[in-house]
Amino acid sequence: MDNFRSRFQVLVYCQNRTRRKYISESLESVGYNTQLFEDTSLLLEEFRAQPTSILLVDIVTEDADLSDLFAAVRLINVESSLLVLVDGEDPDEQQRALEFGASDVVLWSSFGSIALTLRVDRVAELSYVQQKRQLAESKYLELHAEITLRDRNLAWFESQLDGLLSMSQLIRDSQDMGTCFQNLANWMSAWTQQGPVCLFRFIASHRSLPLQISKNLPIDPSEGLGVDLSKRDPKTLLPLLRSPSELPELRVFLDKMGFVEDRTFLCLELTDGQIYILVFVRPSFHHDSAVELIKSSLIREIELKQSQLRLHLLENKDSQTEAYLAKGLHSFVADEVSRSRRIKHPLSVIAIEIDDFKSYNERNGIVLSNVLLRKVVKYLLRASRANDRIFNLGGGRLVMVLPHTSRVGAAIKSEKIRRAISQAAFPMMDHQPLGHLSLSIGVSEFPNLSSDADALVESAQEALDQVMSRSKNKVCIYVVDEAFRPEFKSIESLNEIGGPSSGRGTLSKDLGGN
């Protein structure tokens, strides 16, 4: 019983010091904790801090009107345990105590430590039962709310099952990670039903964070955002998006798109240094477990797709040179042409041939020829970006595919490669015509110099064939007929580097060489 009593704090208000001391000693002797007050304001302050305490108020010797005190007590806790000490010879005092809302009364005429303890015990037991009932009701309401929310989310998941399966299929059918994430952005824009969805793609070798937006957004899909991240660690991208105060242009864009505080992020870093960040409005059901389940499902599907693509790339790579096999060239260029059409950026192809490679092979054998080819590819890889790709066509002929690159940029890169190779040391160069290794290079571009993927590769090869038939060791750009009209306007103009502008099959001015 003492342990039970020790759970309760009894706040005693009494103006008579002797009676106050007697009450405190009587209650503490049986295990109650007491606090004594003779000021109502201090009593109320303590009761606010401990609203489950038992109040014992002596009104026998109290001349002042305590109605304000009892009203304040009920405001703090309408179900408070209030014990009032009254004059047993005055029946009006008992009625007044009950009107004040007393849980029980103690008659002063029969007052004694045993009687007081019994009264306080009864009030404490009622208070304890009441607290247990309130706790049980609260637990019941929490459990009922949790079950209701679970049932609602379960019903939502069942209704979205077909959509989730279609999302998984979209990811599996994607030919590359860029298409995979774009399909995912489109799906999530429809899934949230609150749109929009923004897809940010960061490439470690680039200086900016390009933006792609899903097709069902109410703004122009060609509108982009460039954020200079050259001095930022890629790992800080997600915190910056969560608190974009350091990126004012990003904050303005997200505000324009309707992204308020309730933003949700899906971030995945790929093995090639690319980071994709999906920004979308939290769905209407506002349940964290549902959102996290969706995000974890997406990440698992994307990681599986990334592993499949990585395995596919390994199967299509030449183990000798680390260049890709020729069989994958046309499908890769076709995919890049489709992407170029979608984002309105140029795509260039560079066809490269090692000059006099056949005679070098006959003179020095296949082992040294493979060493030579590996070193050339290594130089090309050093000059490449993450999205560039090099294909080995055999016979000393290579092809580089350069996304987001105009013919001018491709020609400049080609000339840098040609000069670097001519100055590099390679084995058995004594019998080479120039005394060193040289490259002949042909350049073409979509959409300004070709109309589709096949024409892009063929035109680069034609440019290379013509320079090989002339003087070798040069970089040349393919030129189309005057009647040719590109699908969209390219960024640079061919006149930036000079050269004739008419005659299909003619070449622009040779760049570099002897």
Give the C-alpha separation, 32 to 120, whole Å.
9
Contact 52/26 with Cβ under 8 angstroms? no
Mean pLDDT (whole number) for 353-379:
90
Give the C-alpha separation, 261 to 245, whole Å.
13
Q: Is residue 218 domain-shared with residue 338, that is, in the same domain? A: no
Cα diameter, the chain: 132
Residue 486 lies in a domain: yes
CATH at 443: 3.30.70.270
Q: Which two structure tokens, joined as six digits, stand for 460? A: 């680069």
Residue 227 has pLDDT above 70, yes or no: no
Instruction: Tabulate helix, strand, coil % of the chain (nearest 5).
Output: 50, 20, 35
Mean pLDDT (whole number) for 179-188:
73
pLDDT of residue 183: 74
Residue 156 lies in a domain: no
Residue 513 lies in a domain: no
Across 90-94, 186-190, 223-227, least confident range: 223-227
Across 57-61, 116-120, 221-225, 354-358, least confident range: 221-225
Across 25-39, 193-207, 385-399, 412-426, least confident range: 193-207
List pLDDT tens digits, range 64-115: 567 777 778 777 776 677 777 776 666 777 777 777 677 777 776 666 777 7
Residue 508 lies in a domain: no
Residue 501's alpha-carbon distances to 161, 164, 268, 452, 508, in angstroms, are: 57, 53, 46, 20, 8
Q: Is residue 230 domain-shared with residue 270, that is, in the same domain? A: yes
Q: Is the dihedral of CA 357, 362, 364, 366 positive or negative?
A: positive
Contacts of 74 (CB under 8 A, 6+ apart): 80, 101
Residue 223's alpha-carbon distances to 5, 345, 383, in angstroms, are: 72, 13, 30
Q: Is residue 281 domain-shared with residue 371, that is, in the same domain? A: no
Residue 159 lies in a domain: no
Residue 283 has pLDDT above 60, yes or no: no
Give the C-alpha separation, 50 to 79, whole Å.
13
Residue 282's alpha-carbon distances to 242, 279, 285, 296, in angstroms, are: 13, 9, 8, 15
- Neighbouring C-beta atoms of residue 216, cutoff 10 Å: 13
Q: Is residue 180 domain-shared with residue 127, that is, in the same domain? A: no
Strand partners, 197: 280
- pLDDT averaged over the chain? 75
Q: Is residue 399 domain-shared with residue 466, that is, in the same domain? A: yes
Contact 365/312 with Cβ under 8 angstroms? no
Containing H/E element for 324? strand 324-325
pLDDT of residue 435: 83
Question: Which pLDDT band holds residue 202 (cuts at 50, 70, 90)?
Answer: low
Residue 49 has pLDDT above 70, yes or no: yes
CATH at 17: 3.40.50.2300
Q: Is the dihedral of CA 63, 68, 72, 73 positive or negative?
A: positive
Higher pLDDT, 415 or 1: 415
Mean pLDDT (whole number) for 221-231:
49
Q: Is residue 187 domain-shared with residue 294, that is, in the same domain? A: yes
List pLDDT tens digits, range 124-157: 888 788 778 888 888 888 888 888 877 776 776 6
Q: Is residue 419 domain-shared with residue 392, that is, in the same domain? A: yes
Q: Is residue 329 domain-shared with residue 439, that is, in the same domain? A: yes
Q: Is residue 70 domain-shared with residue 203, that is, in the same domain? A: no
Residue 60 has pLDDT above 70, yes or no: no
pLDDT of residue 235: 60
pLDDT of residue 377: 92
Q: Is residue 385 domain-shared with residue 306, that is, in the same domain? A: no
Residue ending a domain, among 288, 315, 342, is 315
CATH at 217: 3.30.450
pLDDT of residue 333: 94
Range picked from 67-71, 321-325, 508-512 for highest mean pLDDT: 321-325
Q: Domain range for residue 438?
A: 324-496
Residue 310 lies in a domain: yes
Residue ending a domain, among 85, 116, 133, is 133
Three-state secondary-structure class, residue 159 = helix
Residue 467 lies in a domain: yes
Q: Is residue 174 domain-shared with residue 234, that is, in the same domain? A: yes
Please report, in angstroms and rounded to a whole number, the separation of the first and last CA atoms in the chain. 107
Q: Is residue 332 domain-shared with residue 479, that is, in the same domain? A: yes
Residue 143 lies in a domain: no
**Order of strands across the sheet that contains 389-394:** 324-325, 389-394, 397-403, 347-354, 439-446, 475-477
pLDDT of residue 328: 87
Higher pLDDT, 98 or 122: 122
Domain count for the chain: 3
